[in-house]
Amino acid sequence: MPCNEFGENTVTNVRKFLPLLLATIALQPYAHAAEPPAASPAATTPVDEEEQLDEGLKRFGYLAGLARGCVVETQRVDLEREALDLHAGIARLLGTDRAFLFSSAFGYGTTVEIETKDCAEVLTNYEARVAKFRAGRGEKK
């Protein structure tokens, strides 16, 4: 039989370590049970305020784009002018990257066909959101 440098054969080595190996495998679940449960990543991660702001601007721009599709041609110019004013206000307050989020979502909202029955709700939500934005800036309109 082959021997190692200590003059022991490999079968003897396996017999020495086999009970230790089996005990380690058998007791492994108990070792993990003693550990405190790890908190879930979602529970410990604070809400990213930057991401919330970006998502809010996207929703606001999308709502403005939907509102554009709910007004008649004569009112569209005024709504578009108001959207440009909102864009400029966002750019001044939050920067051009965030203003771009608003304007790109506005553009996407203009491509969506909206049911006439939903227009009243869209316009109400849009007006409320514009009023909230203007109030946050200290404006009246």
Same domain assignment for residues 1 and 53? no
Same domain assignment for residues 93 and 115? yes
Same domain assignment for residues 56 and 119? yes
Rg, C-alpha atoms of the chain: 32
Same domain assignment for residues 63 and 132? yes
pTM: 0.65
Residue range 27-58, pLDDT digits in tens: 666 555 555 555 555 555 567 899 999 999 99
Same domain assignment for residues 52 and 103? yes
Res. 133: pLDDT tops 70: yes
Tokens, residue 43: 């529970």
- Does a structural domain hold residue 129? yes
Q: Would you report the helix, strand and coil content of the chain in percent, each value rounded to 5?
A: 80, 0, 20
Residue range 84-132, pLDDT digits in tens: 999 999 999 999 999 999 999 999 999 999 899 999 999 999 999 999 9
Same domain assignment for residues 4 and 24? yes
Contact 91, 103 (CB under 8 A): no
Tokens, residue 129: 């959101």
Task: Write the CB contacts of 94 (distance below 8 Å, at least 6 apart in sequence).
Answer: 53, 57
Tokens, residue 58: 């996207």
Q: Is the dihedral of CA 41, 43, 46, 50 positive or negative?
A: positive
> Domain span at residue 57?
46-136
The b-or-e profile of 113-141 (16+ CB within 10 A means b, else e) is ebeeeeeeebbeebeebbeebeeeeeeee
Residue range 51-92, pLDDT digits in tens: 999 999 999 999 999 999 999 999 999 999 999 999 999 999
